[in-house]
Amino acid sequence: MLNINKLAYTYPENQTPVFRDISFSVAQGEVCAILGKNGSGKTTLIKCITGIYKPQGGKIDIVPPVGYVPQKVNFVYDMTVLDTIVMGRYQYIGAFSVPKKSDYETARFCAEKLGITELLDKNFSKLSGGQQQMALIARALTVGSKCIIFDEPCAALDYGNQNHILSVISALKESNTTAVFSTHDPNHVIHVADKVLILRGLDDYLYGTTEEMITDQILSDLYGMQLKKVMVNGRITSVVALYD
């Protein structure tokens, strides 16, 4: 479960706050999408939830440890996929030890769950964007958390890989794991998310179920252009942008 109450964050080097008063709550096993334009504060909010940034105000209730899947990682020194995944076990390994056999077993188990066993001996930097994302998800799974946070998990991926990543996020519900992910594309939201937080500007946000939030009006206002839901058999199948 994730509870956020009156969260406020301003970058130390910048006087303009990113947000001053955001509150929302995600139940255990729910998937929550954070939707907003570029620069709306999605990544900042994600980093506050994961503890990377220290908010100046408000409260975040989340049961540690938290799994985190960054948008991308930039390895200066390359590692194998297996060694990358096993890093997720750090909280159990500690600063003055090395991963044990059981940590590697957990890493292999998580990789198997995601169907990436054949990648384990490859170097991480040699993987495609989609494969890297899968390896990072496996790393977050090894944390053994009941809550996994994704920062723009589908950014720069092709449709097939986007679909694959979204189905992995959706499958987390089966293990009653809470998932929070950020995106700027409403199409990512409609198939996966139970709840949506829409960041529209400073202290201007909407929060509710996907059905409530994904309306033509809200989306068109958010992006400053016309967007339309496409419904098939009473179910939203996609959101299309009507370019000028």
Partner 1 sequence: MAKKQTALQVFLLIVLFLSIGMAMMLGRYTISFEKLYHAIWVRLFHPELAVNSVEYSVIFQLRLPRILLAALSGMALSVSGAVLQGIFRNPLVGPSMIGVSSGAAFGAVSAIFMALSGIAVMACSFVGGLLSLLFTMSIAGKVGSKNILAIILGGIVTGALFSALVSLVTFVADPRDTLPVIVYWLMGSFNGADASKVLLLGAVCLVCFSIIFKSRYVINLLALGDEEAYALGVDVVKLRILFLALTTLVTAATVSVSGTIGWVGLVVPHIARMITGSDYRSLVVTSGLIGGIYLVVADTLVRISPFGEVPIGILSALVGAPVLAYLLHTRKVSNA
Which residues in this chain contact partner 1 in the complex, by CB under 8 A?
47, 50-52, 65, 68, 70, 73-79, 83, 87-88, 90-91, 93, 95-99
End-to-end CA distance of the chain: 42
Please identify, using beta-carbon distances, which residue of 65 and 130 lies nearer to partner 1: 65
What phi-psi label fits residue 135: left (phi over 0), alpha (psi between -120 and 50 degrees) or beta? alpha
Work out how close the CB of 146 gets to partner 1 at its nearest, in angstroms, rounded to a whole number. Answer: 16
Of 60 and 87, nearer to partner 1 (C-beta) is 87
Give the shortest CB-66-to-partner 1 separation in angstroms. Answer: 8
* Under 8 Å between Cβ of 35 and 196: yes
**Shortest distance (Å) from residue 210 CB to partner 1:** 27
Closest to 199 measured CA to CA, from 50, 34, 21: 34
Name the residue nearer to partner 1 (CB basis): 44 or 187: 44
Enclosing H/E stretch for 93: helix 90-93
Phi, psi values for residue 111, rounded to 5°: -65, -40
When the beta carbons of 156 and 240 are compared against partner 1, the nearer one is 156
Minimum distance, C-beta of residue 243 to partner 1, in the bound complex (Å): 36
User: Which of 150/205 has CB closer to partner 1?
Assistant: 150
Q: How far is the CB of 7 from partner 1 (least distance, A)?
A: 18
DSSP helix/strand/coil, 17: strand
Count of Cβ atoms closer than 10 Å to residue 226 Cβ: 13
Asked whether 8 and 170 are in contact (CB, 8 A), the reply is: no
Spatial separation of the C-alpha atoms in residues 166 and 170, rounded to whole Å: 6
* Least separation in angstroms between CB 75 and partner 1: 7
Cβ-based nearer residue to partner 1, 83 or 194: 83
